[in-house]
Every structure is written in C-alpha cells, then in structure tokens.
Amino acid sequence: MNTVYKERKIVSRLLAVVLSALLTVPLLSSCGGSRNASVPPPVDDTAGRTVSDRQTQTQAKKGLGTGQKVALLAGAAALYYMYNQHKNASQDGAQGKYYLSKNGRVYYRDAEHRAHWVTPPSEGIRVPESEAQQYRQFQGYNGNTSGRDLTGITSSAAPAL
C-alpha cells in the first residue's frame, strides 16, 4: 500500500517554492544593471595634446586687448582655471562638464561615460591679470614653481571614476 504523508508533502512544496524564489533572485537582479557597471575605465590623455587644450587657449586670447595686462597660467593654476571654465557646462565631452577628482586631477566624461584626464597646455594659458588673480596661490601662476596643487580642494558631487 502506498502511504502519503500530508505533512511531508506540504513541507516539501514549501521548500521547493522557497528554493525556486532564491534561485531567481540573482537572475532578476542582474537584469536591472547599474550605470557604473558598464562604465569603461578612465583614459589618460597626458601622452598627447588634445584639440580642446588649443581651443581653450585661443578662447582665452580672444578677449585680450593690446593694453591689457596678462598673466600666464600653467600647471595646477591652468588646470584649476580650465576646471572653473567648464564645471557648470551641461554637455559631455572635452567641451562639456569638468570634474575635480579627490586626488587633485581634473577630468571630463565622454559620451560613453569614460573618464578622460585633462592636462594643461605645456605653453600655458594667457588670461587677463584681473581674472587670473584668484589663481595666484597655485603652482604655475606666471611661471612660479611653488604654491599649492589641486589636492584638498573640495568639488561638487562628481561621478565615480
């Protein structure tokens, strides 16, 4: 005679439902994904000059008159100047929004959300002296090798690298 115990049947069904639910959790959680999971690693553009650096320099030169005093920003001063020029931009890319990292470097994100480190032009950026006064304390202001770098400067919420 075949005897079926009702208690075992209920327990085994309940156990099967719980195990099935636990097995579907990883499957369902992987479908949603996150934006950060698909972001490629940062790109270091320090090896070559980019078009954006030259464009920034020519934009700075446009407003200069012949009788206007000019300051040359290089190094950290130029980086901070470039960051301030682009920090409120609404688009992505080299002409878009710039971010200040915790390690004191400036970067922007391309259309694929990949980070690109920004390097100042080796010849520096010519800026009207009245505008350049706020960068006086940084390395590279009018050829100074002393001064502070960009580490420790707080920035607005920046996307993770």
Residue 21 burial class via C-beta count within 10 angstroms: exposed 0-12, middle 13-18, buried 19 and up: exposed
Task: Give the Cα separation of 43 and 63 in Å (integer).
Answer: 32
3-state secondary structure of 89: coil
Tell me which DSSP letter residue 134 carries.
G
Distance CA 28, CA 32 (A): 7
Q: φ, ψ for residue 73 (rounded to 5)?
A: -105, 125
Q: What does pTM read for this prediction?
A: 0.56
**Shortest CA distance to 135 belongs to which of 70, 63, 66?**
70
Token duo for residue 115: 């980070």
The length of the chain, given as a count of residues: 161
Residue for token pair 């206007």: 68
Q: One digit per residue, pLDDT tens: the chain, 161 residues? A: 676 566 778 888 888 888 888 888 777 776 655 555 566 677 766 655 444 544 444 444 454 455 678 888 888 888 888 888 888 888 878 888 888 888 888 888 888 888 888 888 888 889 888 888 888 888 888 777 777 878 777 554 455 54
Find the largest Cα–Cα distance for the chain.
Answer: 111
